[in-house]
Structure 1
Amino acid sequence: MDYVTTLKILVIGESGVGKSSIILAFTTGDYNASFPATIGVDYKCKVMEVNGLKVKLGIWDTAGQERYRTLTNSFYRDAHGAILVYDVSEPKTLQKLNEWVEELQVYTTKKNIVCLVVGNKIDKPRAVPREAGQAFAQKHRMLFIESSAKTQEGINLAFEELVQKIIETPGLWETTGSSSNIRVANEEGNLFN
């Protein structure tokens, strides 16, 4: 299988929740305890296979600090999926996800974008019960998982679940028009629609 579908994935949430660490753990398998705060926006790529489709993920890491929020507005456009991250050891980071959900709703251009709530840092003493994260995700009709970038627990599963749901969402990623740069072909070269 040669053909690769490209999906735009956003990773959003407050500063310090581990967004960059999650992306690093997923793309390289590494962990850096002293990861510097993202300034503006960072971008990483990774190719994975889901349901027999080779998928290239363009992963956008947005800065969590308020002063960089205006830089990220254009990066919401055309996103297929979003990972909303909070820190299970900091209750306010879950509460602040409400603002990120609002921002996502304002700036995203795809009505059926797939979202996944990730409770990160489960290797630390917990201050947010799992049920609170699940309830937030359920309220907003989002997927939910807990993870630890440090121990790698839940990291690959988070991206696999998100991409699986994107692929299963009609009209979100596949196209029939010739103007799109997203095309999926099977081994025989037949396009999937």
Structure 2
Amino acid sequence: MERSSNDFDYMFKLLILGDSGVGKSCILLRFVDISFAPNHIATIGIDYKIKVINVNGSRVKLQIWDTAGQDRFRTITKTYYAGAMGIVLCYDCTSQESFNNVKNWVDQIYQHANQHVALVLIGNKSDMEDIVVPPEEGERLARELGISFFPTSAKSGNNITEVFDHLAKEILDKKLYEIIGNVANVRVQNNKQKKKKGCCNKG
């Protein structure tokens, strides 16, 4: 019997950050809906999707927020750092500028996110022929930041699931759901919040 998205043990709020055009929406679409839209319209403000995954035997509900990368929306996205336990920081392997801007995004994260937030760096569009930022550069930067790095492709799906699995496992292993807060990230105790059997509920 298939379990619903309301049946979970933990809920983690994640953000996908990066410049406009690096493929944030396509990454989210590939992970949640297992599809790819090459002509996806740029995100205006904020959008999010939900997916429940299994991590170390626990059902984890991921609430993944896709943010607009344009400069004029960065002030809007600042408010969405609150309660975020994990961040996917993305650049485009075919865009040197988006890679150079990673450190600017890191500064934003340090300024607005919780100091314990889990962070992973990904170089998207790694399947393209016109790559200008080789994976070695991404790995070097990730080492400097003390975080993990994944070359990804929203088109082929390469490493997309692995990124979110890795982030969720890090949050769970380090118990960041307890450290960062218990409001946005709730520990649900095995159906205790569900209606009890034999209770008369109209519905």
**Scaled by the length of structure 1, what TM-score is found?**
0.89
1:84 is matched by which residue type in structure 2?
Answer: L
Amino acid at match of 1:164: K
Cα-to-partner distance string for 1:71-121 (whole Å, 9 max, x where unaligned):
10110111100000001111111110111100111111x221110101000
Matched, 1:22 2:27: yes
- Look up the SS of the partner of 1:173 in the other structure: helix
Is the alpha carbon distance of 1:130 and 1:185 closer, same or farther for their aligned partners in structure 2, counting shifts above 3 Å? same
User: How far is the alpha carbon of 1:168 from its aligned partner?
Assistant: 1.1
Residue 160 to residue 25, structure 1, CA distance change in 2 (3 Å): same
Residues 20-71 of structure 1: CA distance to partner in whole angstroms, max 9, x if unpaired?
0000000000000100001111111111111011000010111000011111
Q: 2:177 aligns with which of 159, 173, 193?
A: 173
Is the alpha carbon distance of 1:83 and 1:184 closer, same or farther for their aligned partners in structure 2, counting shifts above 3 Å? same
Report the equivalent of 2:88: 83
Q: Is residue 2:135 matched to residue 1:123?
A: no
AA aligned opposite 2:67: T
The amino acid of 1:87's aligned partner reads D
Which of the pair has more CA radius of gyration? 2
Alpha-carbon spacing, 1:159–1:179, altered in 2? closer, same or farther (3 Å): closer
Q: 2:68 aligns with which of 63, 66, 82?
A: 63
Residue identity (%): 38
Cα 1:180–1:100, aligned 2, differ >3 Å: closer, same or farther?
closer
Alignment length (residue pairs): 185
| Counterpart residue type for residue 123 of structure 2 | G
With normalisation by structure 2, the TM-score equals 0.85
CA RMSD of aligned residues (A): 2.0
2:102 to 97, 104, 112: 97
Q: Which residue of 2 aligns with 1:38?
A: 43
Unaligned runs of 5+ in 1: none
Q: Does residue 162 of structure 2 align to residue 157 of structure 1?
A: yes
Q: Which runs of 5+ in 2 are unaligned?
A: 193-203
Question: Which residue of structure 2 lines up, in the alignment, with residue 114 of structure 1?
Answer: 118
